């Protein structure tokens, strides 16, 4: 079958998700009747950078759109005034009545819904981890695009933290839950339930790996040390993308310039060695004090 990334196109989505989702649903539709239900949160105004708006407007999907911000939720209600879209202005949590399963159950969404889009700039991993009852056929979930493919990283289970999780960690969680990675856009993983994978990839086809689907060269920076204690950097990631700040390697040097030479050449009893040992002891002590207070 033709690779899914070749179908990438945007009507309302940001990085080609509309076209890929549509193709995935068409392939699944050859083996099972669509439920024509989709869910998205945070849905913003329901149109801007939406992964579900095209399904609602072009494919007559029913939907649950969830947005916590009151102003955006009001815009969402105006953009989708019809009863085919259930509009909820609330936060999705990880426990009790705020769990996604609980919210969807009370909204009448079928367990076997077609598409779930998760985009909350932080606890996306933990929302997926909390999902137990509903079994979407397709899941679109945001990852932190600055993290290389080989890195395992899961942000704390805390909505006050907004770090995001690595594509590898999310993919491994999805596999445990019975999903297979089929496509990757700049910020989203597209996962298909394992029992439908033959329809999407072709009978007997081996699922692609994360590295097959994502070139991570632009988010890798190597950090290494010179003999003199200078931290050296090589790679493309020199800017914090959301804050638009340049990363200055000069501000990340743990060894002050005055001591940046090879310690093996220092006289063991000289002033330089003694001063360095004192500096290091004070610095480690101060750092331990900070850790101890934490």
Q: For 29-51, what is the mean pLDDT?
A: 93
Average per-residue pLDDT in the chain? Answer: 90
178: alpha, beta or left, given left = phi > 0 and alpha = psi -120 to 50? Answer: left
pLDDT interval class at 287 (50, 70, 90):
low
Q: What percent of the chain has pLDDT over 90?
A: 70
Domains of the chain, earliest start first: 4-216 (3.40.50.150), 219-293 (no CATH)
* pTM for the full predicted model: 0.88
Of the candidates 91, 89, 92, which has an alpha carbon nearest to the alpha carbon of residue 101? 92
**What is the band of 293 on the pLDDT scale with cuts at 50, 70, 90?**
very low
Closest residue by Cα to residue 183 from 43, 15, 37: 15
Q: What is the pLDDT of residues 87-103, one digit of tens each?
A: 999 889 999 999 999 99
Contacts of residue 40, defined as CB under 8 A and 6 or more positions apart, other chains included, come to 50, 51, 52, 63, 64, 65, 66, 116, 117, 119
Sheet holding 115-118, edge to edge: 85-88, 62-66, 37-41, 115-118, 138-142, 188-193, 179-184
Q: What are the distances in angstroms from CA 80 to CA 46, 65, 129, 160, 193?
A: 7, 9, 29, 29, 28
Would you say the C-alpha torsion 19, 20, 21, 22 has a positive or negative sign?
positive
Between these two residues, 138 and 90, which has the higher pLDDT value? 138
Residue 200 CA to residue 194 CA, distance in Å, equals 10
More confident residue, 209 or 282: 209
pLDDT of residue 258: 85
1-33 pLDDT, tens per residue? 899 999 999 999 999 999 999 999 999 999 999
d(CA 71, CA 184): 31
């Amino acid at each position: 079958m033709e690779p899914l990334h070749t179908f990438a196109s945007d009507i309302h989505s940001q990085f080609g998700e509309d076209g890929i989702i549509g193709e995935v649903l068409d392939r699944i539709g050859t083996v099972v009747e669509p439920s024509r239900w989709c869910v998205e949160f945070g849905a913003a105004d329901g149109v801007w950078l939406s992964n579900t708006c095209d399904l609602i407007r072009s494919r007559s999907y029913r939907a649950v759109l969830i947005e916590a911000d009151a102003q955006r939720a009001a815009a969402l209600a105006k953009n989708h005034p019809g009863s085919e879209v259930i509009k909820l202005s609330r936060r999705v949590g990880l426990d009790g009545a705020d769990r996604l399963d609980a919210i969807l159950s009370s909204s009448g969404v079928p367990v076997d819904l077609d598409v779930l889009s998760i985009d909350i700039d932080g606890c996306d991993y933990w929302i997926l981890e909390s999902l137990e009852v509903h079994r979407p056929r397709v899941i679109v979930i945001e990852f932190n695009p600055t993290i290389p493919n080989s890195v395992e990283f899961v942000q704390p289970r805390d909505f006050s933290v907004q770090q995001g999780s690595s594509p590898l960690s999310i993919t491994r969680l999805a596999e445990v839950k019975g999903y297979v990675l089929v496509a990757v856009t700049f910020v989203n993983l597209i996962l298909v339930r394992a029992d439908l994978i033959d329809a999407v990839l072709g009978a007997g086809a081996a699922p692609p790996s994360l590295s097959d689907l994502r070139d991570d060269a632009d988010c890798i920076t190597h950090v290494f040390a010179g003999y003199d204690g200078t931290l050296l950097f090589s790679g493309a990631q020199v800017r914090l993308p959301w804050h638009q700040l340049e990363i200055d390697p000069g501000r990340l040097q743990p060894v002050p310039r005055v001591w940046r030479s090879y310690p093996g050449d220092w006289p063991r009893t000289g002033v330089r060695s003694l001063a360095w040992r004192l500096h290091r002891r004070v610095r480690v002590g101060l750092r331990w004090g900070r850790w101890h207070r934490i």
